[in-house]
Amino acid sequence: MLARSIQPTQDTREYLVVELKRASEKINPEFLAQIESYAIAVAKDNRFHQSRTKWTFMIVANDMDEYARLKARQKNRPDGLVFDSDELNITVWAKTWSEILSDARARLNFFSQQLDYQADSDSELEYLKRAHSKYIPSDLAEIATGGSLVDGEQD
């Protein structure tokens, strides 16, 4: 199990708890019940002020059985959300590795398209010359650019 605490503002905390299943195990009703009951128990712990703490629990495996797949694909809920409690400020997610990787690729493609930026070595060198020329030794600059970075000009 992996866990991470984020403090987005001074008075609140967000926790992410991830349970990774071995490759041979599918997410099933037993695993879903286990992570949901664990999430509830942790969120109800008196050491955490519920109104200022948000919990996200996630179970990840290579595959899900039919019950888990149906529970993770409920109407009017994001894919993977299997439990959501406003009262306790917790959400429980069930995802496969392929879903996580697919979501990450989709986000990467979206940002690449929105930024419409294609990096190449010439643009990288131009940026370095503009932003950091005073920090780059001249002999290194000559090797990297084939010229000198003095006053932003090449020989």
Please give the chain's pLDDT, 155 residues, in tens.
Answer: 555 666 667 777 888 999 999 999 999 999 999 999 999 999 888 887 666 788 999 999 999 999 999 999 999 999 999 999 999 999 999 999 999 999 999 988 888 888 876 667 777 777 777 787 777 776 665 665 565 545 545 44
Whole-angstrom Cα Rg for the chain: 24
Length of the chain counted residue by residue: 155
Q: How many angstroms separate the CA atoms of 25 and 48, rounded?
A: 32
**Long-range interactions of 95-98: CB distance < 8 A, separation 24+:** 95/58, 95/59, 95/60, 96/27, 96/60, 96/61, 96/62, 96/63, 96/64, 97/60, 97/61, 97/62, 98/62
- pLDDT of the residue at 49: 65
Whole-model pTM: value is: 0.67
* pLDDT for position 4: 61
Amino acid 26: pLDDT:
97
What pLDDT, on the 0 to 100 scale, is given for residue 7? Answer: 67
Q: What is the pLDDT of residue 72?
A: 97
pLDDT given at position 129: 74
Q: For the chain, what are the domain ranges?
A: 2-97, 121-152
